[in-house]
Amino acid sequence: MKNFGFVVLNYSNYEESIACVESILAISGKNYFIVIVDNDSPNDSFEVLFDKYVQHPNIRVISSGRNGGYSYGNNCGIKLLESLNIFDVIIATSDTLVVSKDILQQLEQIDSVDLGIVGPKVTNLENDNQNPMLKKAGLGYVLNIHFPSAASFLRKTVYKLIPFLNGIISKQKDSGRKGTQRGDVYMIHGCFLYLTSHYINQCGYLDESLFMYGEEDLLAYNCMQNNLRVLYQPSIEVIHKDAKSTPREDNNSFTVVNSNKSMAYLKRKLKLSTLLIQALKN
C-alpha cells in the first residue's frame, strides 16, 4: 500500500484551507499525511492553522518563510513529505474540496511507471468542468506561447470575421472541458493534481522561476519531454471555488504583472521546435 501526501498551500484564507483539509480528512483510508504550507501570509493564518491542527498526528503546519509563489510553497511541502519517506504527492490549493472519498484507492489502482500526473474532474461553483485544460498541444497552443500577438490578432479579427471558423473553435474548446472520458491528455488544472513519484524522480521539483500562472504548462512540458503520461481521471472529483487562494490586494495589477512574467518565462523554457513537433504529431 502506497503512502500519499497532501500539500495544501495557504495564503491568508485560512477558512478555505480548513475547509479543504477537513474534506481530505473525510476520505477513506489512513495511508496519508497532510502538510499545510502557509505561504508567509500577512495575517494570522499560520497561528490559526497551527493551533487547530497541532495535535493531529497526520497533519503538519509549516511556514514557507517567504511568499515565493505557488511552486516555492508547494516544494516546501513536498520536501517535508520526502523527509517522512512519502513520495506520492497530491497538491491542493486552499480553495478546493475533495468530493471522492475513495481517491486514494483509485490513485493506487492506476499507478504505472510511465504515469507522471493525474488530474481529476474539477467542477467550479457554476458546475463547469475545468479539466482537462488541454487535450492536445496543437498549433493554436504553440501560437499562444511563442507568438501571443499573432494569436491575439487571430482571436480578435479572423475568428470574428469568419463566424463559421469561430464556431468550430468554440465547440472544440467546449468538448475539451466537458469530456467525461478517462484518458491521456496534454495538460490538467494546477488547482488539484497528483504528482507521482515517477514525475518527481525524473523531472524534479516544481520550477520556482514562476511565481504564479503557467505552472501547468511546465508540468505538461516536462511530462512530454520525459515520456510520462498525463492522465485525466474523471471518476475522481473535486470542487474548485476559483481564485480564493489568490492574493486579493490590487488583484488586477497582480494578475497582469505575474501573467506577463510567466508568459515571458514560458516562451524561453518551452522550446518552439519541441512544441511544433508535438503539434504536428497531433
- DSSP for 207-257? -TT-SSS-HHHHHHHHHHHTT-EEEEEEEEEEEE--STTS--TTHHHHHHH
DSSP symbol at 133: S
Query: Which pLDDT belongs to residue 176?
Result: 45
Query: Which pLDDT belongs to residue 88?
Result: 95
* CA 239 to mean position of chain CA atoms: 13
Is 110 in contact with 233 (CB distance < 8 Å)? yes
Query: Which pLDDT belongs to residue 92?
Result: 96
For residue range 226-247, list pLDDT tens digits in order: 999 999 999 999 999 975 545 5
Q: Evaluate if pTM is beyond 0.75.
A: yes
Give the pLDDT mean for 142-160: 71
pLDDT over 70, % of the chain: 84
Give the pLDDT mean for 67-78: 94
Higher pLDDT, 87 or 273: 87
Query: Which pLDDT belongs to residue 163?
Result: 57
Kind plus residue range of the DSSP H or E element containing 9? strand 4-10
State the burial class of residue 167 (Cβ atoms within 10 Å of its Cβ: 0-12, 13-18, 19+). Answer: exposed
Give the pLDDT mean for 85-102: 96
Domains of the chain in start order, with CATH, are 4-134+178-245 (3.90.550.10)
| Strand-pair category, 32-38 with 59-63 | parallel
Q: Give the best-scoring range by mean pLDDT among 48-52, 149-153, 214-218.
A: 48-52
Picking from 54-58, 154-158, 215-219, which range would have the lowest pLDDT averaged per residue?
154-158
Query: Which pLDDT belongs to residue 156?
Result: 66
DSSP helix/strand/coil, 187: strand
CA-based max dimension of the chain? 62
Give the pLDDT mean for 130-150: 83
For residue range 111-127, list pLDDT tens digits in order: 889 999 999 999 998 88
Higher pLDDT, 259 or 83: 83
Picking from 23-37, 50-64, 144-158, 205-219, which range would have the lowest pLDDT averaged per residue?
144-158
pLDDT of 174 > 80? The answer is no
CA atoms of 266 and 280, how far apart (whole Å): 20
Give the pLDDT mean for 203-220: 89
